[in-house]
Structure 1
Amino acid sequence: MKRAVWGVVTVWALAATTVPAEAKWLRADTDSFIIYSESNEKALREFAQNLQRFDSTLRLVFKVETEGEDSKLPIYLLPASEDVAELATGSRKSPIGGFYRQDRDGAFAMSNRENDNLGKGTSASQQVLFHEYSHHFMKRHLRAAFPGWFIEGFAEYYSTVDFDKQGHAMIGQPVYRRAYGLLMQPKIPVERVIMEPPSAMRTNGQTDVYYGRAWILTHMLFHNPARPNQLGTYVNAINAGTEPKKAATDAFGDLAVLDKDLNRYIEGRLSYRTTRDPVPVSANITITPLSADEDAVILLRLERMNARGDKARMVKARDALRALAAKLPANPDVQFELAAAEWEIDEDRDLAAIRIALGKVLAAKPDHVRANVLLGRLNVYELYDKGSDDPSAWGAARKPITLANRTDPNDAVPLYAYFESFTMQGKRPPDIAIQGLERAFSLTPENIEIRVSYAFALANLGDFEPALRLAKTVAFDPHDNGRGEVMLAQLEKLRDRGAGGSKDAAAEGTD
């Protein structure tokens, strides 16, 4: 066990890197990631090695035996935090320097390449990315329901992982960016941290203090020998259905005493752990330049991906893609992004324009996975809109989705789209579709929509206990905006009225 001094409050000085105007996007493939960046090959390789090493560290700590992922996490690196903020929120003034997002079409993360390690510890940009990837890792590999404070405390705790000259991982180092909030701002009592989600904080200052308190509480429960195994006892109780405050007091004792202990812990010296052996640098990294077609559209792809849910931004992205498609009519990547943006406009989408764009994509790339999925969804939507009950028409509508699955069996999106097509038809999904949904969940358990559908599919089969366990993992997620609580209540209602196997269960799960 080594020691790290908490020290004084550090003010970060940010120095943005510059990228030549002629820079082209590169793609790095590792065991667990697909990383896109405009940086040079040497810098991207070093970044990819460090990130894969972090992934290996988490696998070592949590005894995850697999070395990589069938479904890899895409990560996009932009020059500066302001660029990330603009994509995330539409404003360059937002404090967001990186984020992790998951939706029906998969998860991705964004960070920046700022040279901002002028303060203590690892760079802020690395900490942001490690924080976000820790969320992804927790959702994918730690199959339990965790309360919101621990979800954030866990991500903060692992965000500062670094490696010494011999390659040992150093785990649990101070999160200096939380120092000001912890030491200079009014404290939030432990009971509030445990019982309230971060969304309950009313100001940015309170949110900063909440994250800091969640981190230092996690650190104390991991490191303080006076509180052995208390965190595990607490999480087990939560998952067993114990009321949250009772679970906390049973595990931690008097919460007022816990609060006093935490305040003393902040003032002390923080220990950190090192791995017994060096964590090796992966040699399994390949770097390739993007094709001219993909390079031309990648920034608009990012705009389209981040505009989801914001109709005005999506229309703006669609219009920009229309203009680019007019200049590059033979570019299938532009055509796909145009079709995808048009689809996301929802009730005002131009179905004919989507079909034309997809036709151009598939003429150039007949096995384009996501274009085939979108074509299948378009076919299904049109049949649903017409109220068709023609089984042969529905079977034909699904053919592009089936082709997409054959092309890439490790992509969860075609598997989910196939299952979803039966609920759109108003039919109980056949066993093969339910098996496909189960496979989609195993590939991307972090995908909330797939998790919800799988939970209701289990309930529809009468398997309520695993369904409720899945619902709890969603209900406690601080990023879920309350959807999980509604889902949990629906499943409990179905269980209580003995609705296992009813058609209603499948229908409710797809709302």
Structure 2
Amino acid sequence: MAEWREASSANFVIYADDDEQNIRRFSRQLELYHSALEALTGEDLPAPSPSNRLTIFVVKNDREVRRLMGEGPRRIAGFYRPRAGASIAVVPRVKTGGDHTAFPMIVLLHEYTHHFLISAGASMGPRWYDEGGAEFFASAQFPHAGGISLGGPARHRMGALLHGREVKVRELLDPASFEAGMEKASNAFYARSWLLYHYLTFAEMRQGQMEAYLGLMGKGLGTMKAARQAFGDFDQLDRELKLYLGRPIRSFSFQPGKLGVGSIMVRQLDEAEAAVMPLVMRLRSGVGPDQAAQLVGEVRKIAVLYPQSAPVLSALAEAEVDAGNMRRAIRAADRAIELDPQQRNAYVQKGNALFRQAAQADDRDAAYTAAMAPFMALRRLEKDHPLPLIYNFHNYLERARPPPAEAVQGMERAIRLAPFDQSLRSDLAQYYLKHGKFAEARPHLASIASDPNGGFLSEAARRVVRRIDAGVKGEDAGRQLAALLTSPTFYAQEGAVSAVKEGGE
């Protein structure tokens, strides 16, 4: 039997088939990294509500990561899905005691940097800046004596810097370059972005230029015009970067005890939880219809063996929802809640199932009112859980009724609680656009537009922002713009995925 353990801290929940010493050290390093980010950025983030922490699943190897992701490159070192109340990262087993930070840990730190900065309300910048910054911070070291250093050499990118394609500063700064072919040289792009970010951070002659560049862009100046004004001659900057690469790499270091970590609780999962954990990871990673039909059968077998386990029954409710069996899901969730009234996921799955049933109900008003009950109970357990606010907003939209001001304000609050989930911004922006409220929609669209992993949705948001800035007016125009935005429905529980290949993102 596997010895699955849970490490619970202020910002993370980790599940791993590992010994207590390693999972505790892993948790401590992540919290130390979070504290270092706060210290270097000047941000002081409030602790997320328990369900809104980042959940990290640690699996045996890269093959398991790839199997859970179900798509993407052959060689992958981890993936991250940002979702309100259900953000996850999946990484292979992380070695925490070596002299150098293992690559899966760097992958995780890179993605958590994005998660942290978005949670802090930091405006996303051009792609090179966002990714170069994430590479900069994620190149962290955890000395044996304790403490942490950030911003050191990105060893995993040195091969690309020394022997790969030389990406010119002009290519990095021009947003069209990536789409025009830089994507085929993504390792070189990330490596060079790290180098430029690092140089602008530490070079004395360049102090203040990166902030000036971002400030000029914030005033509406295009990225290339802002770059020329802030950085000067691009060829000169290229020459400086070439020289800088051969010099000792500086970093920010924090001595042991300088940063707070907080309490870390480690527990070994009981036999039932350990048995269902591999299936929970598959559920949380996302499954298609065929996979859901197979997976629910596997979870049912575990539930037969452990009929008194609330976590197993909660997982069964989730599997039944994914498989489209709403009545079975509600029965499993009710039983899980009966066994453990604190079983938050059971409330989520019951509410999810009731919402899906309500769409087909004869009395839709009564059905949607009943569907909100589990979420109201969840909110009493966890007042800052974002899902009750999100479902309350959709409760009105699903019935084709205008949401009252408090429901719209609730959705705005949900976005503040889970700003990393861009689907929430898309949903609210579509609502605002359909009602001609362009000023209210624009900040949400701008955030989506600047998301480095936003794909088609980011491009659609950029198009809509340009139309708004050109002075578009009227609800008819707003409805047409809303139609340009295509995001997964909230109920599908699908979020954007960021995956990192070995040697490059």
Short-chain TM bin: 0.7 to 0.9
Q: Return the alpha-carbon distance in structure 1 between the equivalents of residues 189 and 204 of structure 2.
A: 24
Q: 1:107 is matched with which residue?
A: 87
Q: Return the alpha-carbon distance in structure 2 between the equivalents of residues 506 and 433 of structure 1.
A: 23
Q: Secondary structure at the match of 1:133?
A: helix
Q: Looking at both structures, which has the greater relative contact order when contacts are Cα pairs under 8 Å and sequence separation is at least 6?
A: 2
Pick the aligned partner of 2:69 from 79, 84, 88.
88
Q: Is the 8 A contact 2:135 2:154 kept in 1?
A: yes
Q: 1:255 is matched with which residue?
A: 234
Q: Secondary structure at the match of 1:143?
A: coil
Q: Secondary structure at the match of 2:115?
A: helix
Q: 1:354 is matched with which residue?
A: 329
CA separation of 1:351 and 1:279: change in aligned 2, threshold 3 A? same
Q: Return the alpha-carbon distance in structure 2 between the equivalents of residues 123 and 419 of structure 1.
A: 43
Q: 2:90 corresponds to which letter in structure 1?
A: M
User: Which sections of structure 1, spanning at least 5 residues, go unmatched?
Assistant: 1-21
Q: 1:426 is matched with which residue?
A: 400
Q: Return the alpha-carbon distance in structure 1 between the equivalents of residues 11 and 136 of structure 2.
A: 21
Residues 66-465 of structure 1 correspond to what in structure 2 (within 5 A)?
66=45, 68-70=47-49, 71-89=52-70, 94-115=74-95, 121-164=100-143, 167-196=146-175, 200=179, 206-275=185-254, 278-280=257-259, 282-308=261-287, 310-344=288-322, 349-366=324-341, 368-386=343-361, 391-456=365-430, 464-465=438-439
Q: 1:219 corresponds to which letter in structure 2?
A: H
Q: Is the 8 A contact 1:413 1:440 kept in 2?
A: yes
Q: 1:369 corresponds to which letter in structure 2?
A: R
Identical amino acids, percent of aligned pairs: 24
Could you say what the CA RMSD is over the residues aligned between the two structures, in angstroms?
3.4
Q: Secondary structure at the match of 1:245?
A: helix
Q: Deviations over 1:110-157 (max 9, x none)?
A: 223344887x73222322222121121111114313222222111111
Q: Return the alpha-carbon distance in structure 2 between the equivalents of residues 482 and 196 of structure 1.
A: 15
CA separation of 1:192 and 1:303: change in aligned 2, threshold 3 A? same
Q: 2:78 corresponds to which letter in structure 1?
A: G
Q: 1:481 is matched with which residue?
A: 455
Q: Is the 8 A contact 1:153 1:217 kept in 2?
A: yes
- Displacement after TM superposition at 1:215 (Å): 0.9
Q: Secondary structure at the match of 1:98?
A: strand
Q: 1:109 corresponds to which letter in structure 2?
A: A
CA separation of 1:281 and 1:39: change in aligned 2, threshold 3 A? farther
Q: Is the 8 A contact 1:368 1:404 kept in 2?
A: no
**TM-score (ref. length: structure 1):** 0.83
Q: Return the alpha-carbon distance in structure 2 between the equivalents of residues 318 and 276 of structure 1.
A: 49
Q: 1:395 corresponds to which letter in structure 2?
A: T
Q: Secondary structure at the match of 2:77?
A: coil
Q: Is the 8 A contact 2:126 2:175 kept in 1?
A: no
Q: Deviations over 1:254-289 (max 9, x none)?
A: 333333332332233322233488533535111122
Q: Return the alpha-carbon distance in structure 2 between the equivalents of residues 204 and 506 of structure 1.
A: 28
Q: Deviations over 1:309-354 (max 9, x none)?
A: x444444433432443344444443343343234345xxx334443
Q: Return the alpha-carbon distance in structure 2 between the equivalents of residues 337 and 501 of structure 1.
A: 44
- Displacement after TM superposition at 1:501 (Å): 12
CA separation of 1:198 and 1:337: change in aligned 2, threshold 3 A? farther
Q: Is the 8 A contact 2:110 2:138 kept in 1?
A: yes
Q: Is the 8 A contact 2:55 2:89 kept in 1?
A: yes
Q: Is the 8 A contact 1:166 1:278 kept in 2?
A: no
- Displacement after TM superposition at 1:183 (Å): 0.8
Q: Return the alpha-carbon distance in structure 2 between the equivalents of residues 339 and 505 of structure 1.
A: 38
> How many corresponding residue pairs?
483
Q: Is the 8 A contact 2:326 2:354 kept in 1?
A: no
**TM-score (ref. length: structure 2):** 0.84
Q: Deviations over 1:202-228 (max 9, x none)?
A: 699722111111111111111112222
Q: Return the alpha-carbon distance in structure 2 between the equivalents of residues 437 and 505 of structure 1.
A: 22
User: Which sections of structure 2, spanning at least 5 residues, go unmatched?
Assistant: 490-505
- Displacement after TM superposition at 1:167 (Å): 4.7
Q: Deviations over 1:204-253 (max 9, x none)?
A: 97221111111111111111122222222222333333323223223222
Q: Return the alpha-carbon distance in structure 1 between the equivalents of residues 451 and 340 of structure 2.
A: 39
Q: Return the alpha-carbon distance in structure 1 between the equivalents of residues 176 and 9 of structure 2.
A: 34
Q: Is the 8 A contact 1:342 1:354 kept in 2?
A: yes
Q: Return the alpha-carbon distance in structure 1 between the equivalents of residues 320 and 371 of structure 2.
A: 20
Q: Return the alpha-carbon distance in structure 2 between the equivalents of residues 311 and 484 of structure 1.
A: 27
Q: Return the alpha-carbon distance in structure 2 between the equivalents of residues 306 and 393 of structure 1.
A: 29
Q: 2:495 is matched with which residue?
A: none
Q: Is the 8 A contact 2:83 2:420 kept in 1?
A: no
- Displacement after TM superposition at 1:174 (Å): 0.5
- Displacement after TM superposition at 1:409 (Å): 1.3
Q: Is the 8 A contact 2:429 2:442 kept in 1?
A: yes
Pick the aligned partner of 2:22 from 43, 48, 55.
43
- Displacement after TM superposition at 1:491 (Å): 5.5
Q: Return the alpha-carbon distance in structure 2 between the equivalents of residues 504 and 202 of structure 1.
A: 34
Q: Return the alpha-carbon distance in structure 2 between the equivalents of residues 436 and 330 of structure 1.
A: 36
Q: Return the alpha-carbon distance in structure 1 between the equivalents of residues 436 and 183 of structure 2.
A: 44
Q: Is the 8 A contact 2:83 2:418 kept in 1?
A: no
CA separation of 1:23 and 1:449: change in aligned 2, threshold 3 A? same
Q: Is the 8 A contact 2:169 2:234 kept in 1?
A: yes
Q: Return the alpha-carbon distance in structure 1 between the equivalents of residues 96 and 265 of structure 2.
A: 26
Q: Deviations over 1:358-378 (max 9, x none)?
A: 344344345543332333333
Q: Is the 8 A contact 1:145 1:238 kept in 2?
A: no
Q: 1:432 corresponds to which letter in structure 2?
A: E
Q: Return the alpha-carbon distance in structure 2 between the equivalents of residues 145 and 196 of structure 1.
A: 14
Q: Deviations over 1:150-185 (max 9, x none)?
A: 221111111122245665532221111111111111
